[in-house]
Amino acid sequence: MRKMSGAEAILECLKLEGVEVIFGLPGGVLLPLYDALYDSDIRHILVRHEQAAAHAADGYARATGRVGVCLATSGPGATNLVTGIATAYMDSVPLVAMTGQVPTNLIGKDAFQEADITGITIPITKHSYLVKDAKDLPRVFREAFHIARTGRPGPVLIDLPRDVTVGELDFSYPDLDLPGYNPTIGVHKLQIKKAAQVLMEAKRPVIYAGGGVRYASASKELLGLAEKVKAPVTTTLMGVGCFPEDNPLSLGMLGMHGTKYANYAIQESDLIVAVGARFDDRVTGKIAGFAPSATIVHIDVDPAEIGKNVKVDVPIVGDAKSALEELTEAVEPKPWSAWNDKVSAWKKDHPLSYEKSEDVIKPQMVMETIYELCPEAIIVTEVGQNQMWAAQFFTHKDPHRFISSGGLGTMGYGFPAAIGAQMARPDSTVFDIAGDGSFQMNIQELATAVLNDIPVKVAVMNNGVLGMVRQWQTLFYEKRYSGTTLGNIPDFVKVAEAYGALGLRATRPSEVEPVLKKAIDSDRPTVIDFVIPTDEMVLPMVPAGASLSETLELEG
């Protein structure tokens, strides 16, 4: 046991948990902790807005599977983390968010920069702590990291009153004692047997894989099962990359902007094996019309997800990796079937497509070109049309190389998350696929990227509007473009240069490849302004509230 201050103990805990980098922004109550950080080996990335700290930690976590860590001061610093924490919660991202707090004797007195951040974040954290005594710090940190990374991962918040960080304690890292936290590990053998039986009997099976496959690092096992029984595989947005999209069994993404063939296959299937997915409304469309004749097997580590949105015939609670492994063992190989032929015919007849152009830059073409030039790139996205094009037109093969805010749909997520991903994977090329709307939500982080030599490439699909909402206005609101025209778009090249980043622009299709090459070759943070048509749409599209069978058909 060693005597140390609360602040020193916090850094010791972080070291013991293997933390190498934290994203944060200081404030008055955090002075003791930042003072201790000054002598620490842990790298601190100073962001320009706390929201970016949370997103960067989230991007770091998604790129590595490790726990991301962010730090913000009390009051406004803490509340600025809220969007980032909610984003991580919705997408089950392992995150530890530390917040400063006013001294314990001032809590509840409406002190300067006081906010009840544990109270505020209860609905968006897996768990949270308000530490009231320095001697509790080692236990709290031990538990927080354990809870964040195990079971269904998620964000955990630790609120740190100033006096706790200066208090003294005898440091020892305790064993875990969490009687109320027992994430399921093993898989029920009988349920596996039942699932194997329905899978063997099925004539038209589809595997529907989500983010759970990514967190369990179960891509290999997913491929193993699919190939053994020749079941086509569709992924959710969170599962993009879990199954190689160049595999003949891949159906790409399903749902609102999924491929037609994925949605057709789901609707005609007689068996759906859902793995680490949660039957979100963007995936299922009208729930009553979803996969009307399918038996449903649902594998999920979170028992509460099973039966939440759809009735499940064979529930399997457990880790996706072991469940898929055991299920693969329990089934006999199946040959390529008439169903596979049918699905392949759909793939051939209804591919993802767009109208190519010699005159204007099509965003889909930008995605394809990025893939051609840099198939190993880590693709981080903002939210909206840019996100869907990135999901659709880049050929994804690795879940840790596609990073996107799915559940919460947070505009402004992509750029800071890309910074986090680049910190985690310094040797990878990291793209933030952005819209001009989203990018402007956290554009200030250019300073962070430049200062820390984080060579993220921001590819802005600049259409001058909030494109996804405008698309809905075009389709469903008689082109009444209320509040979606951004109007005064800054010159992104000049903005980049003003921050000391590289700014590039492409206005014609012939310029796309050269500017991308320039960006990829540069070791500086780069912003590329791709001027795209205002009314390019994300297609196919199933309107909200419609069943997956009702793909919108557009004329002309």
**Which residues of this chain interact with other proteins, rule CB under 8 A?**
118-119, 122-123, 126-127, 130, 147, 178-181, 302-304, 307-308
What angle, 0 to 180 degrees and rounded to 10, lies between the N-to-C axes of helices 260-268 and 338-349?
150
CB 423 within 8 A of CB 60: yes
Q: What is the smallest separation between the CB atom of 383 and other proteins, expressed in angstroms?
A: 23
CB 257 within 8 A of CB 251: no
d(CA 544, CA 547): 8
DSSP one-letter code for 196: H
Burial class from Cβ neighbours inside 10 Å (0-12, 13-18, 19+) for residue 18 reads exposed
Instruction: Supply 45's token pair.
Output: 């990335």
d(CA 100, CA 164): 10
* Contacts (Cβ under 8 Å, ≥6 apart) of 464: 436, 485, 486, 487, 489, 534
Triad 197, 203, 206: Cα angle to 5°: 85
DSSP bridge pairs for 25: 72
Q: Which is nearer to other proteins, 147 or 213 (CB)?
A: 147
Q: What is the smallest separation between the CB atom of 284 and other proteins, expressed in angstroms?
A: 16
CB 264 within 8 A of CB 270: no
Q: Which is nearer to other proteins, 9 or 310 (CB)?
A: 310
- Find the radius of gyration of the CA atoms of the chain: 24
Q: What is the smallest separation between the CB atom of 158 and other proteins, expressed in angstroms?
A: 13
d(CA 525, CA 452): 10
CB 528 within 8 A of CB 247: no
Q: What is the smallest separation between the CB atom of 111 and other proteins, expressed in angstroms?
A: 19
Q: Which is nearer to other proteins, 74 or 442 (CB)?
A: 74
Q: Which is nearer to other proteins, 152 or 470 (CB)?
A: 152
Q: Which is nearer to other proteins, 91 or 268 (CB)?
A: 91
Give the count of beta carbons closer than 10 Å to the beta carbon of residue 51.
Answer: 28
Q: Which is nearer to other proteins, 49 or 127 (CB)?
A: 127
Q: What is the smallest separation between the CB atom of 303 and other proteins, expressed in angstroms?
A: 5
Q: What is the smallest separation between the CB atom of 414 and other proteins, expressed in angstroms?
A: 28
Q: What is the smallest separation between the CB atom of 218 and other proteins, expressed in angstroms?
A: 22
Q: Which is nearer to other proteins, 311 or 348 (CB)?
A: 311
Q: What is the smallest separation between the CB atom of 258 and other proteins, expressed in angstroms?
A: 27
Give the count of beta carbons closer than 10 Å to the beta carbon of residue 3.
Answer: 10
Q: Which is nearer to other proteins, 116 or 513 (CB)?
A: 116
